[in-house]
Chain A
Amino acid sequence: MRMPAPIRLRELIRTIRTARTQAEEREMIQKECAAIRSSFREEDNTYRCRNVAKLLYMHMLGYPAHFGQLECLKLIASQKFTDKRIGYLGAMLLLDERQDVHLLMTNCIKNDLNHSTQYVQGLALCTLGCMGSSEMCRDLAGEVEKLLKTSNSYLRKKAALCAVHVIRKVPELMEMFLPATKNLLSEKNHGVLHTSVVLLTEMCERSPDMLSHFRKLVPQLVRILKNLIMSGYSPEHDVSGISDPFLQVRILRLLRILGKGDDDSSEAMNDILAQVATNTETSKNVGNAILYETVLTIMDIKSESGLRVLAINILGRFLLNNDKNIRYVALTSLLKTVQTDHNAVQRHRSTIVDCLKDLDVSIKRRAMELSFALVNGNNIRGMMKELLYFLDSCDPDFKADCASGIFLAAEKYAPSKRWHIDTIMRVLTTAGSYVRDDSVPNLIQLITNSVEMHAYTVQRLYKALLDDISQQPLVQVASWCIGEYGDLLVSGQCEEEEPIQVSEDEVLDVLEGLLVSNLSTPVTRGYSLTAIMKLSTRFSSLNRIKKVVSIYGSSIDVELQQRAVEYNALFKKYDHMRPALLERMPIMEKTATNGPSETVQTNGETDSTILDTKHLPSISQPASQANDLLDLLGGNDVVPIIQTTVPTKPASAGGELLDLLGDLSLTGGPTPTPASSVPMSQPPFLLDGLTSQPLFNDIAAVIPPMTAYNKNGLIIEFTFERSNPNPNIAVITIHATNSTEADMTEFVFQAAVPKTFQLQLLSPSSNVVPAFNQGSVTQVIRVLNPQKQQLRMRIKLTYTHKGSPVQDLAEVNNFPPQSWQ
């Protein structure tokens, strides 16, 4: 008995759309799939096409369709054009280069590439050009190359794009397409021209040799572009009065690549760029698209300064455009050029600052980043006003980045210490809960170093605490300061403003209040307890302090309990040491070199010989690592690779790593939302030497060094130190030596770690690794590993050796367990 004909595609679609629930739809689908399966089993040629089409529809709805894969192959092999059309579509939708079954297509495609009908050839080229695997590309590259030389422009344009795909999949095959490119640009057909330019672009981007080879095409490209602009109305290629904008944009992009770093080429294209920049109609998006590409080209090649200024001014005009898309690309481009053309961009500062008030989130973010890039000693006061206002009103997503940026800018350009402290206060009070945890030690260090402002600072912080104790970073900084400068507070010594009258008891009330409040985090409580303790040498209410300390000796919070017990011990057994231990902190120096230098264990209990009191106050955690972590302004000697909040590549090495080191995703990645910083439940390093440490000392045990890389005479050894205040941080020093007979110059070491880690790379000792092991380059890496996961790293080395550039990537997986456990 003959089965009834399978229902038609449109009929099925109509039926499925009548389903009122997901369950109903699923039932219909299952029923139809069963019917289709039996039809496939019958090897029915007539209806195979219809059935596969229906399967593709169901696949789009999200249902599995893998049982149709082989059927697609059968359709492709059929002689009917209808079958082939659906078969190839099915192959593109259902087949996957990861499964070997896709290779079965190769022969069919080969035959179809030589078919007598160009539309069949087109189908084959399209499929190969969209999803061809490397194996397929290898097998069929020859056929594609043949078609690239045909006079049939319909096929030629498709062959060009197919070649692009082949090259992307199998870069080594690029050479074989070179002869066919010979007169691609002499074509009149715009389709061929466009795809040829794309092909040439791909080749030039991938191979410096090709790039030099094709530089000679610059005059021809300039001519084609000129003709496009000067030619009259051509209905076939016109878009809003502009002739073939797609081709124009592609040519501009190729010119950019060819002109980059080359004086002659850049000069040859100078005029046409100026012409396009000044003559393109800007009323519609299409004209602006061309202008945008032109600006990108001008900025990248060696253009004369007049042209560059023209480009920046175009961007400036873009900023005033009503179309937010245009404003967006303007800000993005300005961000890219702000380092190189700083002065030109400065002229548009007020427009940029206005964009802070834009409604669009992406525009606001870019405006913020650009604003930070433009802050300098001259405009700091005005800019900071705008940025603080922005901080008040912006989305929570931005607050952390904005706060960090403000701190950085303030530190660099503060016109006075008073202004600096006021700015910090403003940030802490308005966005205090968004400030990054690691800003706290940095701020403390800043405050410590502003000696003449101590009284003013502690007073302002105290008043802020009276208002609000919910914002933890503010509370922590305030507690620390009160602990340190409480004597100035009660003695009413403030010069900068009216001194407040406050008694020792009132101060202790506030600090004790923090201890009991359920708004306070454990870290904050630690700060408060320590602050109270420190006041024992500054205040006279000793008994009250002793009482508080002894109460917390039985606190459930282990951290707090330990502190209290140790402080108790200080009162009892080591009272003679107490004044020295708790004395005023000296000015802390910012060092840009290695991490924690003196990491002295400070156990109140056990070995009193460890307590070298002279050292304790100088456990200066170089705050450079804290504040440079968020180097939005770039250009520091520290190279941060953490939480890049700049989605576009920043000027530092961090940005380049994002695309070079592949799937070992970098911490923080390029997403704009700042990752909530790793909760550092350990108190920050910077503190008073009484940070609690485990009573046992064995963390100081030595971690064995390891060889991370050994190739071509370059050996890189890793040595380890544990960062003691925070055992989640491993400090690795790399030592690079060179046993060959020539120096390795321009040596750059880069590293990336998996997502759960954070990494910071400090400055290298130099960038020349001398020959014959005559010396070494050292550099410090700090890795934060809060989840105690196995440490893995991917490193990239670039250097010049005997005149040639060398580049290598390597995985480092042999870390000793002690370095990350």
Chain B
Amino acid sequence: MRFMLLFSRQGKLRLQKWYTATAERDKKKMVRELMQVVLARKPKMCSFLEWRDLKIVYKRYASLYFCCAVEEQDNELITLEVIHRFVELLDKYFGSVCELDIIFNFEKAYFILDEFLMGGEIQDTSKKSVLKAIEQADLLQEVSLNLKHKMA
């Protein structure tokens, strides 16, 4: 996977994860272009399209588009499952996740994504395992914050 984008129907970016080194200027351009292309798609169309030299796999969940750019040899159908798994993780974490959760807790969304994928590949295929790691990390964060308060 080259990158993953989350954006709203109005074209507001909610998350962007890049797995290849790309200049900031190019990232902006690509995001703008791709959002335009995906938002122009009609509901009846399939979830895959070709864009530049990449394959784009996208799926809409409520008001959010989840959009991944994969390489030629990647399996588009399983990429849909990867997207779905990420949504499930968010859902379990936030409890019936909605776009607002991701807006207000974007850093947590990133933490979850970074526990699930690395370099565009799945780290762990067990939902339970990923969620447990996040939970533990959150606890660690709590602890470090409490320590700070004790010292203050």
Residues on the A chain within 8 Å of B144, using CB: 80-83
Among candidates B53, B80, B119, B141, residue contacting A670 with C-beta atoms closer than 8 Å: B53
User: Do B28 and A190 touch across chains, with their CB atoms under 8 A apart?
Assistant: no
Interface presence of A286 (CB below 8 A): yes
Nearest residue (CB) in A for B88 is A239
What CA separation (Å) do A292 and B44 show in the bound complex?
Answer: 22
B7 CB to closest chain A CB (Å) equals 10
Q: Does B148 contact A (CB under 8 A)?
A: yes
Number of residues on chain A facing chain B (CB within 8 A): 81
Q: Is the CB of A191 within 8 A of B123?
A: yes
Closest residue on chain B to residue A328 by CB atoms: B46
Contact residues in B for A81 (Cβ distance below 8 Å) = 137, 140-141, 143-144
- Determine whether A40 belongs to the interface, using a CB cutoff of 8 Å to chain B: no
| Chain B window 39-57, contacts with chain A (Cβ cutoff 8 Å), 1 for yes, 0 for no | 0000011111110110000
Contact of A362 among B16, B50, B82, B136 (CB under 8 A): B50
Q: Are B133 and A154 in contact (CB under 8 A)?
A: yes
Q: B21, B52, B125: which contacts A97 (Cβ < 8 A)? A: B21
Are B45 and A129 in touch, CB under 8 angstroms? Answer: no
Q: Is B19 an interface residue (CB 8 A)?
A: yes
| B98 interfacial contact with A, CB 8 Å | no
Within 1-28 of A, Cβ neighbours of B (below 8 Å) are at: 9-10, 13-14, 17
Q: B-facing mask of A417-460, CB < 8 A → 1, else 0?
A: 00000000000000000000000000000000000000000000
Q: Is A130 an interface residue, CB under 8 A from the partner?
A: yes
- Tell me if B62 counts as interface (CB < 8 A to partner A): no
Partner of A53 from B76, B107, B118 at Cβ < 8 Å: B107
Query: Which chain B residues in 138-152 approach chain A with CB under 8 Å?
Result: 140-141, 143-145, 147-148
A150 located at the interface, meaning its Cβ lies under 8 Å from any Cβ of chain B in the complex: no
* Closest B residue, CB atoms, query A127: B114
Answer whether residue A499 sits at the interface, using C-beta atoms and an 8 A cutoff.
no
A64 to B59, CA, bound (A): 29
A117 within 8 A of B: yes
Residues of B within 8 A of A239 (CB): 81, 85
The yes or no answer to B106 lying at the interface (CB within 8 A) is: yes
* A119 B133 Cβ-Cβ under 8 A: yes
Chain A contacts for B61, CB-based, 8 A: none
The verdict on A492 contacting chain B, using a C-beta distance below 8 Å, is: no
The residue in chain B whose Cβ has the minimal distance to the Cβ of A45 is: B148
Could you tell me the distance in whole angstroms from the C-beta of A87 to the nearest C-beta in chain B? 11
- Pick the residue among A62, A86, A329, A648 that contacts B28 (CB under 8 A): A62
Count A-B contacts at CB 8 Å. 181
Chain A nearest CB from B150 CB (Å) reads 13
CB of A98 within 8 A of CB of B45, answer no
Q: Which residues of A contact B19 (CB under 8 A)?
A: 130
Least Cβ distance of B44 to chain A in Å?
5
CB distance from A245 to the nearest CB of B (A): 6
Instruction: Give 1 or 0 for each of A635-655: 1 = CB within 8 Å of chain B CB.
Output: 000000000000110000000
Q: How large is the interface on B (under 10, 10 to 19, 20 to 34, 35 or more residues)?
A: 35 or more
Instruction: Point out the residues of chain A lying under 8 angstroms from B119, CB to CB.
Output: 129-130, 161-162, 164-165, 168
Please, which residues of chain B bring their CB within 8 A of the CB of A296? 75
Q: Mark B13-36, 1 if CB is under 8 A from A, else 0.
A: 111110101011000100000000
Contact indicator B107/A96 (Cβ below 8 Å):
no
Chain A residues with CB under 8 A of B73: 253
Contact B81 A195 (CB under 8 A): no
Indicate if the CB atoms of B47 and A325 lie closer than 8 Å: yes
**Minimum Cβ distance to chain A for residue B55 (Å):** 9
Q: B12 to chain A: closest CB distance in Å?
A: 8
Complex interface: chain A residues within 8 A of B13 (CB) = 60-62
Q: Chain A residues near B52 (CB, 8 Å)?
A: 671
The listed residue with most A CB atoms (<10 A of its CB), out of B15, B122, B123, B129, is: B123
CB within 8 Å for A119 and B124 given contacts A60-B16, A362-B46, A671-B52: no
Known contacts A81-B140, A289-B81, A324-B46; decide if A246 and B118 are in contact (CB<8 Å): no
Decide if B10 is an interface residue (CB 8 Å cutoff): no
Q: Tell me the minimal C-beta distance from B134 to chain A in angstroms.
A: 10
B97 at the A interface (CB under 8 A)? no
A325 adjacent to B103 (CB under 8 Å): no
Of A46, A80, A97, chain B has the most CB atoms within 10 Å of the CB of: A80
How far, in Å, is B64 (CB) from chain A's closest CB?
14
A115-165 interface (Cβ within 8 A of B):
117, 119, 122, 125-126, 129-131, 133, 154, 157-158, 161-162, 164-165
Interface centre among B78, B115, B127, B137 (most CB of A within 10 A): B78
Q: In the complex the two chains form, what is the Cα distance from A61 to B106 in whole Å?
A: 12
Q: B121 near A198 (CB under 8 angstroms)?
A: yes
Residue of A at shortest CB range from B132?
A: A154
- Tell whether, in the assembled complex, residue B48 and residue A119 are in contact, meaning their CB atoms are under 8 Å apart: no
1/0 per residue, CB under 8 A from B, across A83-101: the answer is: 1011001001000111000
Let me know if A362 and B121 touch, CB within 8 A: no
A360 within 8 A of B: yes
User: Inside 8 A of B106's CB, which chain A residues have their CB?
Assistant: 56-57, 60
- For the complex formed, measure the closest distance between the CB of A669 and the CB atoms of chain B, giving whole angstroms: 7
Cα distance A122–B127 in the bound complex, in angstroms: 17
Tell me whether A672 is interfacial, beta carbon within 8 Å: yes
Give bound CA distance, A83 to B53, whole Å. 38
**CB-defined interface of B67-82 with A at 8 Å, one 1/0 digit per residue?**
0000011011110111
Which residues of the partner chain B approach A647 to less than 8 Å between Cβ atoms? Answer: 50
Decide if A325 touches B80 in the complex (CB within 8 Å).
yes
Contact yes or no, A162 B46, CB < 8 A: no
Cα A236 to Cα B130 with chains together (Å): 11
Most buried by A among B14, B82, B104: B104
Q: Please tell me if A753 contacts chain B, counting CB pairs below 8 Å.
A: no
Whether B129 pairs with A362 at a CB distance below 8 angstroms is no
A288 CB contacts on chain B under 8 angstroms: 77
Q: Judge whether B110 and A249 touch: CB under 8 Å.
A: no
Q: Is the CB of A191 within 8 A of B77?
A: no
Task: Among B77, B121, B127, B141, point to the contact of A292 (Cβ < 8 A).
Answer: B77
The answer to whether B77 and A325 have CB atoms under 8 Å apart is: yes
Q: What chain B residues lie within 8 Å of A162 (beta carbons)?
A: 118-119
Say whether B46 contacts A96, CB under 8 Å.
Answer: no
Question: In the bound complex, how far is the Cα of B80 from the Cα of A157, in angstroms?
Answer: 22
A225 contacts chain B at the CB level, 8 A cutoff: no
Residues 337-356 of chain A: 1 if any B CB is under 8 Å from the residue's CB, otherwise 0? 00000000000000000000
Indicate if the CB atoms of A289 and B78 lie closer than 8 Å: yes
Contact A194 B122 (CB under 8 A): yes
Which residues from B are CB-within-8-Å of A89? 107, 110-111, 114
What's the Cα separation between A654 and B145 when bound, in Å?
59
Chain A hits for B122, CB < 8 A: 194-195, 246
CB distance A13 to B104 under 8 Å?
yes
Q: Is A702 an interface residue (CB 8 A)?
A: no
By the criterion CB–CB under 8 Å, are A13 and B103 in contact?
Answer: yes
Tell me the bound Cα distance from A774 to B137 in angstroms. Answer: 71
Neighbouring B residues of A658 by C-beta, 8 Å: 53
- Verify B126–A191 contact, CB threshold 8 A: yes
User: In the bound complex, what is the Cα–Cα distance between A293 and B77 (angstroms)?
Assistant: 9
> Which residue of chain B has the shortest Cβ distance to A191 in the bound complex?
B124
**B19, B21, B53, B118, most chain A CB atoms within 10 A:** B118
A186→B144 CA distance, assembly (Å): 37
- In the complex, the answer to whether B129 meets A246 with C-beta atoms within 8 Å is no
Specify the chain A residue showing the minimal Cβ separation from B110.
A89
Q: List 15 additional contacts besides A56-B107, A362-B50, A647-B50; criterion CB under 8 Å.
A: A13-B103, A86-B107, A98-B21, A117-B140, A119-B136, A122-B137, A157-B123, A157-B124, A164-B121, A194-B122, A194-B125, A325-B76, A325-B77, A362-B48, A671-B50
Interface residues of B (CB under 8 A from A): 13-17, 19, 21, 23-24, 28, 44-50, 52-53, 72-73, 75-78, 80-82, 85, 103-104, 106-107, 110-111, 114-115, 118-119, 121-129, 133, 136-137, 140-141, 143-145, 147-148
7 smallest CB-CB distances across A and B, nearest first, come from A191-B124, A289-B77, A324-B46, A289-B78, A161-B118, A81-B144, A246-B125
The 14 sampled A-B contact pairs (Cβ below 8 Å) are A9-B107, A62-B13, A161-B119, A168-B119, A246-B78, A286-B81, A289-B80, A324-B46, A325-B77, A328-B48, A362-B48, A658-B53, A671-B50, A672-B50
